[in-house]
Structure 1
Amino acid sequence: MPSIAEDREITKAAKADPDAQPLTANQLKAMVPLRTLRGRPKSENPKQLVSVRYSQEVLAYFRSTGEGWQARMDSVLKEYVTKQSRRAQK
């Protein structure tokens, strides 16, 4: 740890550097903890984690379509649900 005199010298040198000016009170107030900026924004409709067993043929097909295959499976299932819901309403 620097002594009080060394700390004063460090602070004086930092204040003299135009590229390293101390933050203003408004800048400090506007700061947001890094933790809140990490990751994806929270979804309004989060998906639920479940364990499901699919046939090898179904998995092989969707995996062969490349990255995002799980999202494509979800889209296909959503489309099926929509069609079935329409049938049920008739």
Structure 2
Amino acid sequence: MKSAKSQSPAQSADRSAGSFRPDARDETKDRNTTRVSRYSPRKGKTDWAALDALTDEQIEEAVRNDPDAVPLDIDWSDGVVVVPMKKIPISIRIDEDVLDFFKREGDGYQRRMNAVLRSYMNQMTKPKKRA
């Protein structure tokens, strides 16, 4: 009696309706897809020769006339490097409406939740005022 061979996961995946279907490629043909390779990089629209030809005075003048430019005369001598505290990933159960509230405010909701918890912690650890 010959025993039946079990199919390997790879063989059975070929026959299943997995994440890739052979006909799925046809659906992407109409999309605007750009492929970029380090071996054939895309050429940008920057005129590097014209940029290289600018003098320092011309660059400074262009920056002065740019309303979005940051001033070039920032004094960094009093600057302080602030190393952010280490974050520890945890799993926590939060009421759905509380989580929805923070997520509605957009990206950075976890950072905002941390700020609220930090504020509460700071209030609770303050020395109590005597009457």
Q: TM-score range with shorter-chain normalisation? A: 0.3 to 0.5
Greater Rg over alpha carbons, structure: 2
TM-score, structure 2 as length reference? 0.33
- TM-score norm. by structure 1 comes to 0.48
- Between 1 and 2, higher relative CO (CA 8 Å, sep ≥ 6) is seen in 1
Structure number with higher helix proportion: 1
